Structure 1
């Protein structure tokens, strides 16, 4: 009985709250009708005019009746939202589709839709819908666009209902919202020569023989078409079925993209800043290498990478490469400046491993950090650095460009350690600096015999990326 009493009490409170909400939604017209009806009723009582009393009661009852009907039907309108697409590059547009449906048995009055969007996506969209019949639906759409990458919430959708007489207006906010992900711009990169791509894995990848003895070989089950000379009889006798040797193991070319996110390394903000150029460049290289079949890895100065990324990165030229690109783009969409002062954590992550091709996007470097970067290059791999002088990026375009704060000296230190170091001027095209890095690599390769990129086994032929 106590539970039933509590339920009834809560229902009573809900009804009283609904009545107060409905009365608070009276428009100026509804309040005027209500005031006129009350005044007419009082005058009829004082003067003893029954006809005037009927008019007063009608005037007062009309807005109250409209508020009651609107309150009873306002929870029978359903709303939904759909993004197309949910992930867009910076500067591109996405379309938002809104759908409302009248699921009640009564027609609605005038409907006003309003969707909440962040200021960076544009003005708040508003729509006015005519009367919706029972079971009817209406669909509207609007476009959003942002030059700044990030994740932006859309919603909740607000629905304002009015009665046919304009006496009452109620606002309902739906709880559902969606998220628009604005990823960095991806620039298609031109093909340049890459050495060290393993032949025999897909199109022109090298296969390396497994360095295992007779007792260390890892067998697998026999498959139709396997050469019988590869049957491993000892394992066959042990497992009771034909087993063959795994004599060939595919070796996939690998690429690590290092993104410097230190706050002290970049100046300025906005879509045209040096940091945004670096983020867009890292995204472009990651997608380019994935399309070429590389196992790619994203690394920041803090030593962190993409959540869910394996020890060897995401594999390209596979069915999962599109999902891998999406994960990395989602990570770059929200990446921000770090509070770190150095690149030692990234060096610790790279040290002792064979990372293949290393592509770095770096901000301002002092002598100490330039020395740390110089040590990142592996002996068996090639390294390319795109160095952005943030001071040059914040200067006016009329200024004479040129290296400041020792940028030229830092580039020389990197080149002496085997890096292909390229300075990125303000507003430079990623495609052009990519070609320039290839030209500088070609000059270095003629003297040192190294290539623009390796997969941990240099000198095994040439490919195209």
Structure 2
């Protein structure tokens, strides 16, 4: 809350003493007390004037390292303040307002500044660390500086109105690799590198022929040619993987459709999605990210391209749930094709869902279901159909659940 009273405790005491001097000078006829009271008022007035009557121009810029803040990880905020003041100023304190999506100690000592009458702007560099708490796009600021006059009688709180938007990306968890399944799932980064050397740079996009998988469409070539084009040698050069995030709001809390960071279960799902993509891309898979209705959530990311994974994190910072429920349509996306790992991340998951997606397991070399809210024997049924399954909890260990699903096939314990 902004304080309107401009005097400090010392200044307030000086004002009370001045008034007392005036009263006593009038009662007892002591002229010296009158002069002393006037002196105190003059000093207090000069103190206020030194803070409020000086003209100053201020510019605030902020930068982040790294550029994208991630939930659960720290980033450094560098604040640069350009100040021009007519008179020297004593040191003060500063505070940078943080949104609910960030946590940190954003305050410190603001240094004293010399006179700027010659027109030179003084630059003050401040820094602090923040930790991502809530996914989304948030604003930092304004920066406030509280200063006092050299006598400590008056105070002023100056707000530098510039705000800076910061993107808080979903938590990225380091998952165990799939190296134990190189032969089964289509290859690791080493295998992919060998294949890439045999001609991945020479991939040819050819016109679409009825019967071609829609998942092999080359969208850039399609946009360039204005007709459907497919990758002719895609499966021969790069092992594929698909990560499917079911965003149907009926499987999550209603808040998941309103704003990012509101439903812990959906937040775990988004984190699991980007973490799985990062793991697969690091292991050398070309990964596509889909919704359960077939909507492309991110363009295909080639194996080893971690720069695109960073871009995916920023893109998923604002991802929310959608109204429709279409998990049963998943079987159409993989009908008639054989692919590598298929990672399905879902919220509420009941036995009928397990039966509905059963055919997909036979089109993947490593089908996996990560369910935030499994019901009944849904995971057992999915495992019977060939899926590797795990229940993941918003407060649990995603890496352990992933490792159990990959290594043993079934994980009944919510980690």
TM-score in terms of structure 2 length: 0.68
State the shift of 1:257 in Å.
0.5
Structure 2 vs 1, CA of residues 282 and 120 (structure 1 numbering), >3 Å: closer, same or farther? closer
Q: Does 1:72 align with 2:67?
A: no
Residue 181 of structure 1 deviates from its aligned partner by 1.8
- 1:430 maps to which of 375, 380, 399: 399
Given that 1:153 and 1:177 are in contact with CA atoms closer than 8 Å, whether structure 2 keeps it comes out as yes
The verdict on how the C-alpha distance between 1:364 and 1:200 changes in structure 2, with shifts beyond 3 A counting, is closer
- The higher-RCO structure (CA 8 Å, 6+ apart) is 1
Matches within 5 A, 1:373-452: 373-376=357-360, 379=363, 381-382=364-365, 384-388=367-371, 390=373, 405-412=376-383, 414-415=385-386, 420-424=387-391, 427=396, 430=399, 433-434=402-403, 436-437=405-406
The residue number in structure 1 matching 2:88 is 107
Q: How does 1:215-364 map to 2 (within 5 A)?
A: 252-262=238-248, 264-265=250-251, 275-301=266-292, 303-306=294-297, 309-310=298-299, 313-317=300-304, 321-344=305-328, 357-364=341-348
| Equivalent pair of 2:98/2:139 in contact (CA under 8 Å) | yes
2:3 and 2:314 map into 1 onto residues whose CA distance is 44
Q: Cα distance 1:430–1:84, how it changes in 2: closer, same or farther (>3 A)?
A: same
Tell me the C-alpha RMSD between the 2 structures: 4.6
Assess if the C-alpha contact under 8 Å between 1:102 and 1:133 holds in 2: no
Deviates more, 1:119-128 or 1:204-213: 204-213
Q: Counterparts of 1:374 and 1:390 in 2: how far apart (Å)?
A: 18
Are the structure 2 counterparts of residues 167 and 74 from structure 1 closer, same or farther at C-alpha, using a change threshold of 3 Å?
farther
- State how far apart, in whole Å, the 1-side matches of 2:138 and 2:302 are: 29
Which of 355, 365, 368 does residue 349 from structure 2 map onto? Answer: 365
Distance, in Å, in 2 between the alignment partners of 1:257 and 1:339 is 20
Q: Which runs of 5+ in 2 are unaligned?
A: 116-120, 208-231, 411-415
- Of stretches 203-212 and 111-120 in structure 1, the one that deviates more from structure 2 is 203-212
Which residue number corresponds to residue 155 of structure 1?
141
Q: How big is each residue's C-alpha offset from its partner over 1:128-182, in whole Å with a ceiling of 9 and x where there is no partner? A: 3453334665544333234654544332211112111222212122222332524
Partner of 1:455: none
Q: How far apart are 1:113 and its partner, in Å? A: 0.7
Structure 1 residues 353 and 138: alpha-carbon distance in aligned structure 2, compared to 1, 3 A threshold: same
| 1:59 corresponding residue in structure 2 | 40
User: Conserved in 1, the CA contact under 8 Å of 2:185 and 2:366?
Assistant: no
Q: Which has the larger radius of gyration?
A: 1
Which runs of 5 or more residues in structure 1 are unaligned?
1-20, 214-246, 392-403, 442-465
Contact 1:149/1:333 (CA < 8 Å) preserved in 2?
yes
Give the corresponding residue for 1:203.
Answer: 194
Whole-Å separation in 2 of the counterparts to 1:272 and 1:77: 40
**Whole-angstrom distance in 2 between the partners of 1:347 and 1:62:** 82
Q: Which residue of 2 aligns with 1:93?
A: 74
Contact 1:187 1:431 in 2 (8 A): no
- For 1:141, what is the secondary structure of its paired residue? strand
Report the Cα offset of residue 112 of structure 1: 1.2
Task: State the alpha-carbon separation in 1 of the partners of residues 108 and 206 from structure 2.
Answer: 70
Whole-angstrom distance in 1 between the partners of 2:349 and 2:233: 44
More strand by share: 2
Question: Which residue is 2:210 aligned to?
Answer: none
